[in-house]
Structure 1
Amino acid sequence: MNNLKGTIKNISVDQQITLVDIQVGNLDMLAIVIDTPEHASYLKLGRKVKVIFKETEVIIAHNPISEISLQNKIPGKILRMEENALLTKIELDTNLGPLSSIITTRSAHHLNLQPGQSVVALVKTNEVMLSV
């Protein structure tokens, strides 16, 4: 599980869904919360939160990325790769701290990923969880 620290900087609500802008280090990240500030007391501007997402939800791409709907883009460098028959675990060094990704070994080979290579970690907004 990836776990970063951030601060809520904007909250947008539509019906029972909240889009939360979080400042994480020098990057802005987004999370979708199926709740509202009226029922989730941690949804407050300036609130310190943990930004959590699974390794299996981290997509790896080469940089630069042209147009894409994914908004959580974290640049980093591959530190280590643990390759198995089906899955490869990739450990990244980023300005936000260490991150892990688990992708198929087939994808790792297709992208020709290697330690030392610069990449971008991508995380969909609906895969980001917030905790206090």
Structure 2
Amino acid sequence: MNAIQGHICDIQISTNLAVVSVQIKEDIVWKILIAETPDTASYLRIDNMIKLLFKETEVVITTNKQQAISIENGIEGVISDIEKGLLLSKLTINTKAGNVISILATEAVDRLMLEKHQEIIAMVQMNEIMVSI
């Protein structure tokens, strides 16, 4: 499980849902979708520190910084290790927020021609992130 820490910097509410913006680093803000509001979850307060948790299989990789895509959250990094298996491969990506692990199809690794020391962007949809306080 990947874990990135940050503080809540904005909360947008619609009925019983909240889109919470979390500042991870000065120039990195991720958004998460939570089925709670500040009225139902006491940890949903501006400036509260939280951990964002997401599975390795939920990390999408792109090599194109200019690509238009609907995934809300991205973080630039460099591939520091690749463990290729027959079907799946594990990438370790060094980012400003720490290491992020991605597990993806080996076929995708080959198609994207991913290799160690390559700059990429790791992305996670806001609905695939869990919160820990």
TM bucket normalised to smaller = over 0.9
For 2:33, the aligned partner's letter is: I
Correspondence for 2:37: 36
Partner of 1:119: helix, strand, or coil?
strand
Query: How big is each residue's C-alpha offset from its partner over 1:85-123, in whole Å with a ceiling of 9 and x where there is no partner?
Result: 110000000011111000000100000000000000010
Query: How big is each residue's C-alpha offset from its partner over 1:58-99, in whole Å with a ceiling of 9 and x where there is no partner?
Result: 001003132111120100000000111110000000011111
In 2, distance between residues paired with 1:107 and 1:65? 19
Partners of 1:63 and 1:118 within 8 A in 2: no
Partners of 1:8 and 1:46 within 8 A in 2: yes
Q: Which runs of 5+ in 2 are unaligned?
A: none
Is 1:10 matched with 2:10?
Answer: yes
Alpha-carbon RMSD across the aligned residues, in angstroms, is 0.8
| TM-score (norm: length of structure 2) | 0.96
Correspondence for 1:64: 65
Report sequence identity in percent.
35
Aligned length: 132
In 2, distance between residues paired with 1:129 and 1:103? 20
Q: How does 1:97-116 map to 2 (within 5 A)?
A: 97-116=98-117
Q: Which runs of 5+ in 1 are unaligned?
A: none
For 2:15, the aligned partner's letter is: Q
4+ runs deviating over 2 angstroms: none
Partners of 1:58 and 1:102 within 8 A in 2: yes
| TM-score (norm: length of structure 1) | 0.97
